[in-house]
Structure 1
Amino acid sequence: MLRTRTPPGDRSNRPRAAAGSRQRALDAALALFEAQGVANTTIEEVRDRSGVSIGSLYHHFGSRDGLVAALFDDLLAGYRAHIMAALKDSTDARALLEGFVAAHIGWAVAHPAAARFLSEQRRNPVITRGEAKLQQGTAEFLRPLLARLRPAISAGTIRSLPPELLLSLAIGPVQTWTRLWLNGQTALKPETAARRLGELVWAAIAVPSTYPGRKS
């Protein structure tokens, strides 16, 4: 009679365990980067805080720089998913733009360490080495939002400007205010900033007859 050999562990759980250790490492890295900065954090400190072995860390990320890049990519993906989910039910250009402003600020308030890391590390050479990939990802993220602005341009609701310029008018001011808030340089409450910035963005791009106020 043939004997079956029992495997030393349930292999079906290995991908799940690997994903769990990777996430623990990313969470630990973000906490350490927030507390003491990227430059002052070692891979050994990430190991100690996460409980993930050095071997696993190098398996997942290859190096400390790889860990920084992976964290940036993961946080950026989470931010973009939040924005898209928040805007999925926006029915017109004004709701889309004001919703973008509110969703951006709301995500930063809910995840300040993540928002600060993305803002501060955007020009880190570790990140800019992948600039082409970043630019492609940004274009793919913005494409459906830009497409949703075109009908409003055709209808004369918003100014006849390139859609990417219109969206830049929303992104620029909200990113600037969010950086100020993250650095403790504004006393304006986030919900107030979201409302006022949304109104200002709409006033800047709407055809004048369409922006005195939203009808209830």
Structure 2
Amino acid sequence: MTKQSRKDTILTAALACITDVGADATTIEMIRERSGASIGSLYHHFGNKERILASLYLEGLCRYAERLDGNLVAAADAAACIGALVTSYIDWVVENPDWARFILHSRGRIEAGEMGEQLKNSNREHYVHLQARLNTFIDEGCFRDLPPECFASIIVGPAHDMARNWLAGRLNKHLADYRELLAETAWIAVRATPDQSPQ
């Protein structure tokens, strides 16, 4: 078994344990037993439980970012780009509900931990890459004039809130049923109106 596949096995086991009993109650021994890895292997790859949790968090963000990046590259215009921001998030949550639930509830813990700086750097790199893609459409005047700090919240905020409700079992319908509506609403919220001049 390769080093990477062993690490993936450990992370998969960690997520299963967290889903069953929660992050606080999950122990190294539980992860070891579920993954079939030795204690030595767990400590060799990660060092301790908090590093396993942080690695699980970062790996989830990385896989989501890869999906989003691919969809953004394929977006032919500004509307498709905004739609991709919403649908990529919803699709990832629907396909990975346990991982999404862990990420939604663990950000503060990871930020405050020993790998918090790595998380900040990862988020910063992702933001720079995303902004570079959006800048093409910003320069073309496709979006209304909005405070930069509000832009992402306006686009993904409603989908994020809906995902939380769905993961908590508070929606009567499946999250995917709201996919196109949320994407369309995000575009309506940020698109430039005909009377607005290009930025």
Same structural fold, with TM-score higher than 0.5 when normalized by the shorter chain: yes
Q: Please state how far the C-alpha of 1:170 moved relative to its aligned partner.
A: 1.2
Question: Please, which of 114, 133, 138 is the counterpart of residue 118 of structure 2?
Answer: 133
The 8 Å contact of residues 67 and 88 in structure 2, kept in 1 or not, is answered as yes
1:102 aligned partner, one-letter code: T
Q: Give the aligned CA root-mean-square deviation in angstroms.
A: 1.9
* Contiguous gaps of at least 5 residues in structure 1: 1-15, 211-216
2:81 aligned partner, one-letter code: L
The number of residues matched between the two structures is 194
Q: Distance in 2 between matches of 1:55 and 1:177?
A: 41
The 8 Å contact of residues 10 and 32 in structure 2, kept in 1 or not, is answered as yes
Q: Please state how far the C-alpha of 1:164 moved relative to its aligned partner.
A: 5.2
> Is the partner of 1:186 in helix, strand or coil?
coil
> Is the partner of 2:103 in helix, strand or coil?
helix
The 8 Å contact of residues 146 and 163 in structure 1, kept in 2 or not, is answered as no
Which structure's relative contact order is higher, taking Cα pairs within 8 Å and 6+ residues apart? 2
Report which stretch shifted further, 35-44 or 142-151. 142-151
Q: How does 1:106-121 map to 2 (within 5 A)?
A: 106-121=91-106
Residue 93 of structure 1 corresponds to 78
Q: Distance in 1 between matches of 2:88 and 2:44?
A: 35
* 1:57-91 CA distance string (max 9 Å, x none): 11111111111111111111111111112222101
2:112 aligned partner, one-letter code: T
Q: Distance in 2 between matches of 1:49 and 1:152?
A: 47
Residue 122 of structure 1 corresponds to 107
Q: How does 1:74-85 map to 2 (within 5 A)?
A: 74-85=59-70
* 1:145-174 CA distance string (max 9 Å, x none): 222323433333211235553233212222
Normalising by structure 2, report the TM-score: 0.88
After TM superposition, what 4+ stretches of structure 1 lie above 4 angstroms from structure 2? none
- Pair 1:142-2:142 in alignment: no
Residue 58 of structure 1 corresponds to 43
Residue 153 of structure 2 corresponds to 168
The 8 Å contact of residues 111 and 117 in structure 2, kept in 1 or not, is answered as no
Q: Please state how far the C-alpha of 1:107 moved relative to its aligned partner.
A: 0.6
Normalising by structure 1, report the TM-score: 0.82
Q: Distance in 2 between matches of 1:91 and 1:184?
A: 35
2:18 aligned partner, one-letter code: F
Identity %: 34
- Pair 1:209-2:194 in alignment: yes
- Pair 1:23-2:30 in alignment: no
* Contiguous gaps of at least 5 residues in structure 2: none
